Structure 1
């Protein structure tokens, strides 16, 4: 009896291969032929699942973003119930900072996509912007919780700016780790200090000095 094909598994096999190619050689190297060879499948199969290169790249970008989202809340001390804003945002930090080889590989791939978005026109930029905007909303929501703003649709003054500032700092720390200017543990310590300045120290730790 022929084995049934798991289409989700096959798509993941191909996007994983694309991630490896992009991580080694950059976005332009992710041709159907290169990705098919890396995945051990035919070019026709890659085309069947993704249609064209833009479809393959969009699916690959989504796979990296989804992998980061799946890591939210992983690592670090056990969260309190319910989790505090500090717990939630530290989970974001741990998910996004390149603290191990897997996260570093994803950071390199995302950097390639972001660099391409600068030169590939509005359509490419729009394809990449939803994830950062969603992250701004996540961070802003937790800042509002910490500041006592919990009503639906409410937002404290400057919350969005503070969220964007925090994510810009996180992006800079990510680049520093990828470029090996900082060790992962050093970057995590800096990010935790930023969270304490924004939210106050978590229970059991004194607030940082200015």
Structure 2
């Protein structure tokens, strides 16, 4: 929200940035390639959504590239993408699940980004027993990641509906659209 409030005219800000870089300040003359690590329909559809959104909001041209995962992953690791889109979902309801992925030594998402203060905050949060302090560490780390250095740009988090029969017990459903099947069992199935 802070970024949106402070930068209400994203297109003007982009023009200013292009000019600072010695480029043509007209966003319509800029083409940016977004690479995806999948060729399935969801990513193609999402790519079309991003094309429309960035064209409408910023006035830029977006080229979509869909690659098989091994090729995409190698390109990201080598720094050979302009924007590499990755989908990652939280497996459990804790900021550590997502924020630890961006530590310098994590190797989960190949940004090449290193920030010692961020790493320190995530390490402190990992061992902190006081939940209020822990959340403060996460807030500060998130500010570095998304606001101060803008390492990544979260775009969407899809929702899904899960329907189960009454006799299905212990299905671990999280707000993050992940299901845990380890402790699932059925009870009362014959009574229906």
Q: TM-score range by the shorter chain?
A: under 0.3
Which structure has greater helix proportion? 1
Which is higher, the Rg of structure 1 or of structure 2?
A: 2
Q: Which has the higher strand share?
A: 2
Higher relative CO (Cα under 8 Å, sequence separation at least 6) belongs to 1
